[in-house]
Structure 1
Amino acid sequence: MKARQAHDDQLENCRLRMMAERNQLARSLTDTNSCQERVLRQLIAENADTDFGRLHHFSLLGSIADFKKAVPIRDYAEFEPWIDRAADGESNVLTAEDPVLFFMSSGTTGRNKKIPVTRSFMRQSFFPFYFAMWAGLVESVPEALLRDDATYSLKFDPHGRYPSTNSGRPHLGVSQTDFEGIFGESLIEPGTRAPWKHLPVKLADDDHLGRAYARLCMAAQHDLLCIVGLNPAMVAALPRQLALWWPRLAKDIRDGTVGGVPAMTPNPERAATLERLATYFGTLLPSHLWPNLRSLFCWNTGVSSLYMPRLAESFGTNVRVFPAPVAASEGPVAVTVDGHRSAGSPVVAAMLLEFIEADEDILPDSLTLGLSDLDAGREYHVIISQLGGLYRYALGDVVRVVDRLQGVPRLEYAGRRTLSNVAGERLRESQVVRAVKDALLSTGMEIGNVTCHVEQRGDDMGYGVAIAPRGSFQAHEIGALEVRFDRALQDVSRCYRHARESGRLGKSVFHVTEPDAFFREWQARITSGVRPAQAKDRIFTSDAEIWRRLIGRTAEGLRSV
């Protein structure tokens, strides 16, 4: 009885902390300038005597303007020598406080980044944001937190062993981190105390599909109310995994096995229900398996904005999508405080935020803007400075200003800053997404995913656009889609328009893939060892082999983006 009461008290305290941090974040918006100045003063004062601080004369800096003059903007590659020194065990490099661990983040080169994490950064920047991001979900669906088996967290995958740096510090993803064990922070995320937290069978740490299947075997026997994914590609994969796996699931649930290995209490009644539902509907969707589902928690902007509304219906017609925050392993940028369906308010007390117009290149001395300088409807690169040792760091994300709350811009994730530029077109992910969305709206067509690749067609070069269809597409509909897309892309990108008008780029050609082509590629990446949390949608692909598989033919003379 006492143990149960202690469990309930811990959950309630966590719920109250989530609400309190969300409310504190909202209060910080009333004086963003003071918050930003306070963040800067602290990171300068605490790290003035580091190698980085001495090189950039931190002890002499008194204002944000001084800081901008003294510290050039850098990306990860330029920070990497400093980070490697810290990862090798050298002290006082970027921060006076030694990093406790290094968050893992996928880089554009394919190598995993090492993001230094100090206790001060976690306490003052990360945890307030992280508690706050769950408030809206937990407020709407309290059981998502208070009932252990109500939430299926696709991102939660604790392992027994993790990679480490040369100095022995853990190098792991945010979703793999034991916050209580490492930092003593009693943070209970929805889904992290579910019965499937521990696998019922022994599987290799890199057998990500096997681990997902084992957890699904257990979750399929509970009444879920919420699914947490963060990465929408993980959420999009679940209905297709159910359709692919349901015969195995039913057999394993009936026999009390996982992959034929005894692991659970046999449940023939639940197995019969799955088989009956699959036979009646012709497949098995999340809404069939969990009819009381009420919420999804994941990113719903960028590429996912093209497929999320229809995807959500496969989880239930009354399911609400709660937007995950604008954040990266390097730090948080914005989190929803008022129920907005896609945008969040900037976390002004967590880190110093600067912005650069998205059409501009990011240079060491680029002119940056503050929050008060941002305009609704425009897109910006994000530059962060945070207590954990990243100073004027180019995050690599582009955000769009949706509107203002209490006079402060609300931001949504628009895409990565990666440019596709083979003929001077300088295309960003967000521009392609906007053009695809415009073309779909004008033609009434729907898709499940999209990616682009530059094709060499004889003497002509132009974008190929692979789309996974929802329903059947006729040839004349594809033609209309191509015309509208090209027109929309010229409207949103001046450089693309010039490339088209000058003849450097030919017309864009749409390729209709098999409906599950993108899912098969996603599964292949997971099978190859990529963690599901890191296998994200790609609006541009530079891999000619992936492109060939997606469009289902041998493409001669393809040229990478």
Structure 2
Amino acid sequence: MFIKSFAAKIFAKIVVSKIRKWSQNPIEAQQKVFKTLISEAKNTAFGKDHNFDAIQSPADYAKKVPIRDYEELKPYVDRVVSGENDILWPGKPLYFAKTSGTTSGAKYIPITKESMPHHVEAARNAILCYINETGNADFVDGKMIFLQGSPEMTEKNGIKLGRLSGIVAHYVPKYLQKNRMPSWETNCIDDWETKVDAIVEETKAENMTVISGIPSWVQMYFERLRTKTGKDVGDLFKNFQLFIYGGVNYEPYRAKFESLIGRKVDSIELFPASEGFFAFQDRQEANGMLLLLDSGIFYEFIEAEHFFDENPERLTIGDVKIGVNYVMIVSTNAGLWAYNVGDTIQFTSTKPYRVIVSGRIKHFISAFGEHVIGKEVEQAMQEAIQQHGFSISEFTVAPQTNPKDGLPYHEWFVEFESEPESLQQIENTIDKAMQQQNSYYLDLIEGKILQPLQIRTLKKSSFTKYMKSQGKLGGQNKLPRLSNDRKIAEQLISLQD
């Protein structure tokens, strides 16, 4: 055993012991975070505007601090961006994580000296939990690749800004620098397809043991490796042992990955965002990711079906129930207050608190009151894949409200790896799974308001071409799994001509 892997096992035991302490006392952990946040920020502009001095409890907080999304918090963020001190958090941020906004152009999410360590430690701790559980630490002696955005940063009024994944790249521990790939120069390539080709050249002869990234983009990397070398990824990288991913559900991609790799490898799911690192998979056999309750983030939860009510109830960690779809609201030591991240989650466990990401509050289909969410369409697709043995590159779903003939329906846009034997059977399986999961959808089908879903097969690389047309090819960009309109659908259709 090499020294690095031996040390990793010892360190893993220490870290897991610390995690158990707060995870076994979740309400106490969140109370401590809450009090610290309010105390630290009471003299900021935001704290004074919202009378933080008078806040003693989460109930007080809910009365004084309304829920905001980025657009609503933007007046404060603009003051931080312009260089003012003590606006959302004491002093100035270390960085802005720059992301693409919807109505306000670029979004600038602050990252402070207090919040930055949690982004780094959470990813590290996910790996250490895996090492402690499995006893497998040999991979730390091999090469690791993290498919991410460029680490290059610009500066705005004395504050550095860049993509979150690029910012985090500056914090890779020294003991991993020699193991880390691709090279700095390759990581700085802007064009994604050029970057992937360069990564293939750099890594094809290396001892790759850990590969990390959003599944759709890692799939592109694997496909080009196989095209370039003529080998399965598992034969090319004989010691490849661990796939780390986040951002989207891995299950729809799993069959294709195992085909490209030629064997099964362990995986770890992460739940990172510019706004904070929220959860990671702490056990291989557990359903869901451990919600990080001791990492400078105070959580509130609103039942998704009541989110758009005039005054929805804001729950804290002790009030949540397993299986309910919640909108997650965060307050952080980066200066985000009662902030709607946009994600919906469901708890799979409360001892400890584990979650799955069920979708986005803005990404749903309810053109007829069916309230279909991302988790449901992904589960339905996975059941069809398991039953019929096909694989896909990508898919998304949109309502067809005005068909030429017959009743409206949900249209599934699917890029298959190869033409399936019976599209009708796949449609039937998916539709049955949707009816079993969603009672509203079932009622609409039985009531002859909707007809069963239909699949539209897409040409190879349709989704890649779509993402490229949107300037979102590669990196941390994700395709919406479903939409309540046909904007994406119509653009995908146009690419078939």
TM-score, normalised relative to structure 2 = 0.86
Residue 415 of structure 1 is matched in structure 2 by 359
Change (3 A) 1:45 1:538: same
Distance 1:527 1:488, change over 3 A: closer
In structure 1, the residue corresponding to 2:261 is in which secondary structure?
Answer: coil
- 1:292 counterpart = 2:239: yes
> Among residues 479, 487, 494, which one is paired with 1:537 in the alignment?
479
CA distance in 2, matches of 1:51, 1:163: 26
Deviation at 1:81, TM superposition (A): 1.9
The residue correspondences of 1:325-336 to structure 2 (distance < 5 A) are: 325-336=270-281
Say if 2:146 and 2:181, in contact at 8 Å, map to a contact too: no
Aligned runs of 1:448-459 on 2, under 5 Å?
448-455=393-400, 456-458=402-404
Amino acid at match of 1:530: K
Aligned-partner Cα distance in 1 for 2:66–2:419: 52
CA distance change for structure 1 residues 163 and 387 in 2, over 3 Å: closer, same or farther? same
Name which of 391, 399, 408 aligns with 1:461. Answer: 408
1:198 corresponds to which of 184, 190, 194: 184
Report the AA paired with residue 184 of structure 2: H
Cα 1:232–1:192 change in 2 (3 A) is farther
Other-structure match for 2:320: 374
- Correspondence 1:93-112 to 2 at 5 A: 93-108=87-102, 111-112=105-106
Deviation of 1:446 (Å) = 4.2
| 2: CA distance, partners of 1:193 / 1:110 | 39
User: 1:431/1:188 Cα in 2 relative to 1: closer, same or farther (>3 Å)?
Assistant: farther
Distance 1:334 1:155 in 2: 19
Which of 453, 456, 473 is 1:511 aligned to?
456
Matching residue within 77, 82, 93 for 2:71: 77
Matches within 5 A, 1:331-346: 331-340=276-285, 343-346=288-291
**Aligned equivalent of 2:124, options 106, 120, 131:** 131
1:355 equivalent in structure 2: 301
Moved more, 217-226 or 461-470: 461-470
Considering only CA atoms, is the larger Rg found in Structure 1 or Structure 2? 1
CA-CA distance at 1:168 after TM superposition:
4.1
Alpha-carbon deviation of 1:18? 6.0
Amino acid at match of 2:244: F
Deviation of 1:197 after TM superposition, in Å, equals: 1.7
1:122 aligns with 116
1:511 counterpart SS class: strand
The aligned amino acid for 1:465 is W
Q: Does 1:172 align with 2:162?
A: yes
Per-residue CA distance 1:83-136 (angstroms, 9 max, x = gap): 12211112222112211111123445594421111112224x434424312314
Aligned-partner Cα distance in 1 for 2:315–2:386: 33
Aligned to 1:234: 217
For residues 181 and 372 of structure 2, the distance between their equivalents in structure 1, rounded to whole angstroms, comes to 45
Deviations 1:164-212 (A, max 9, x none): 44x24222122211676xxxx6735967743642337xx9742232222
Q: Following the alignment from structure 1 to structure 2, what is the Cα–Cα distance between the partners of residues 222 and 526?
A: 29
Distance 1:195 1:495 in 2: 47
1:50 is the counterpart of 2:44: yes
Sort the Cα spacing of 1:288 and 1:110 in 2 relative to 1 into closer, same or farther, 3 A: farther
User: Per the alignment, do residues 126 and 288 of structure 1 end up closer, same or farther by CA in structure 2, a change over 3 Å counting?
Assistant: closer
The residue type equivalent to 2:456 in the other structure is H
Pair 1:309–1:195, CA change in 2 (3 A): closer
Residue 388 of structure 1 corresponds to which residue in structure 2?
334
* Alpha-carbon contact 2:365-2:482 (below 8 Å) kept: yes
Could you tell me which residue of structure 2 aligns to residue 5 of structure 1?
Answer: none
Instruction: Return the alpha-carbon distance in structure 1 between the equivalents of residues 419 and 439 of structure 2.
Output: 33
Q: Which amino acid aligns with 2:236?
A: L
Paired with 1:110 and 1:189, the residues of 2 have a C-alpha distance of 40
CA change 1:98–1:199 in 2 (3 A) is closer
> Structure 1, residues 121-166: CA drift from partner, whole Å, max 9, x if none?
224x43442431231455555344344xx2222226433xx3444x
Gaps of 5+ in 1: 1-7, 247-273, 279-283, 554-561
Deviation of 1:232 (Å): 1.4
- Output the amino acid matched with 1:410: R
**Structure 1 residue 422: Cα displacement:** 2.9
Determine the C-alpha separation between the residues in 1 that align with 2:392 and 2:374: 17
Kindly state the Cα deviation for residue 334 of structure 1 after the two structures are TM-superposed. Answer: 1.7
Pick closer, same or farther for the CA change 1:13–1:151 going to 2, 3 Å: same
Deviation per CA, 1:497-549, whole angstroms, max 9, x where unpaired? 454456554432112234x335xx32663586436222223312532453215
Question: Offset of 1:426 from its aligned partner?
Answer: 3.1
- Check whether the contact 2:151–2:163 (CA below 8 A) recurs between aligned residues: no
C-alpha separation between the residues in 2 aligned to 1:352 and 1:192? 36
Residue 207 of structure 1 pairs with residue 191 of structure 2: yes
Query: Could you state the TM-score of these two structures normalised by the residue count of structure 1?
Result: 0.77
Structure 1 equivalent of residue 137 of structure 2: 142
User: Superposition pairs for residues 272-287 of structure 1, below 5 Å?
Assistant: 274=229, 278=230, 284-287=231-234
**In the alignment, which of 200, 209, 213 is matched to residue 216 of structure 1?**
200
CA deviations on 1:47-91 (whole Å, 9 max, x unpaired) are 111121112111111112211222111112211221122111122
- What is the RMSD of the two structures over their aligned residues, measured on CA atoms? 3.2
Question: 1:252-278, CA deviations, whole angstroms, 9 ceiling, x for partnerless residues?
Answer: xxxxxxxxxxxxxxxxxxxxxx4xxx2
Structure 2: how far apart are the matches of 1:490 and 1:353? 32
Shift of 1:31: 1.1
Q: Distance in 2 between matches of 1:367 and 1:315?
A: 47
Change (3 A) 1:300 1:176: closer
Contact persistence 2:151–2:169 (CA under 8 A)? no
Q: Mark the CA change 1:168 to 1:500 in structure 2 (over 3 Å): closer, same or farther.
A: farther
- Post-superposition offset of 1:300: 8.6
Q: Distance in 2 between matches of 1:19 and 1:113?
A: 39
Give how far 1:347 is off.
Answer: 0.9
Distance 2:417 2:196 in 1: 26
Which stretch has the larger CA shift, 345-354 or 235-244? 235-244
2:344 maps to a residue whose letter is V
Tell me which amino acid in the other structure corresponds to 2:147.
L
User: What is the deviation of 1:14?
Assistant: 7.9
Correspondences of 1:300-311 after superposition (within 5 Å): 302=249, 304-311=250-257
Identify the residue that residue 148 of structure 2 maps to in structure 1. 155
> 1:269 matched to which residue of 2?
none
- Give yes or no for contact 1:72–1:364 (8 Å, CA) kept in 2: no
Question: Contact 1:26–1:337 (CA<8 Å) still a contact in 2?
Answer: no
Separation in 2, partners of 1:341, 1:241: 33
Is 1:473 matched up with 2:420?
Answer: yes
Question: Given that residues 452 and 463 in structure 1 are in contact (C-alpha distance below 8 angstroms), is that contact kept between their aligned partners in structure 2?
Answer: yes
Q: Which residue does 1:266 correspond to in 2?
A: none
CA distance in 2, matches of 1:532, 1:101: 22
SS of the residue 1:119 aligns to: coil
